[in-house]
């Protein structure tokens, strides 16, 4: 998050955050790589929005899938939430952030309670698989 904050404070949006673009140095510090889809945070026209539908579909925010103008910081944060979920759960929270994806649809419709029940179904600790703090963080980021 420090690296992403640094990028944003310096006017750069990554737009393709995913585990494959996160590297570890010799001290196990995360380094953000592959800025091929990077763009100015304020947009190319300085209007505050980006318009190009770039990125890896599984990590793209819903506004990009919907081909809507989008703000850079929130879409990078959205991808970070998906990465965090994968790091903790060892699987993605949903396939893509579109209304036809059942898991994503629950989050979008403010039915996070059902989302957590589904993603915890069959896990050893059941609904206690994820801490309340993790759930709150993920939902806030998404």
Distance CA(93)–CA(85), nearest Å, equals 6
Residue pair 25/90 in contact by the 8 Å Cβ criterion: no
Q: Residue-wise over 30-60: b if at least 16 C-beta within 10 A, else e? A: eebeeeeebbebebeeeeeebeeeebbeebb
Domains and CATH numbers, the chain: 2-141 (1.10.510.10)
Q: Looking at the annotation, which residues are catalytic? A: 16
pLDDT in tens, 63-112: 999 999 999 999 999 999 999 999 999 999 999 999 999 999 999 999 99
pLDDT in tens, 20-30: 999 999 999 99
Write down the pTM of the prediction: 0.93
| pLDDT at residue 101 in the model | 97
């Amino acid at each position: 998050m420090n690296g992403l904050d640094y990028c944003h404070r310096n006017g750069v949006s990554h737009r393709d955050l995913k585990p494959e673009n996160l590297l570890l140095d010799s001290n196990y510090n995360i380094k953000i790589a592959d800025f091929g889809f990077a763009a100015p945070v304020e947009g190319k026209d300085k209007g505050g929005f980006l318009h190009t539908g770039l990125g890896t579909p599984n990590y793209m925010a819903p506004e990009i899938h919907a081909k809507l103008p989008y703000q850079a910081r929130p879409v990078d944060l959205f991808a970070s939430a998906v990465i965090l979920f994968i790091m903790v759960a060892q699987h993605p929270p949903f396939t893509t952030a579109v209304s036809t994806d059942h898991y994503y649809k629950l989050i979008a419709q403010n039915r996070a309670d059902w989302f957590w029940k589904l993603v915890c179904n069959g896990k050893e600790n059941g609904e206690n698989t994820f801490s309340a703090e993790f759930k709150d963080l993920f939902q806030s980021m998404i």
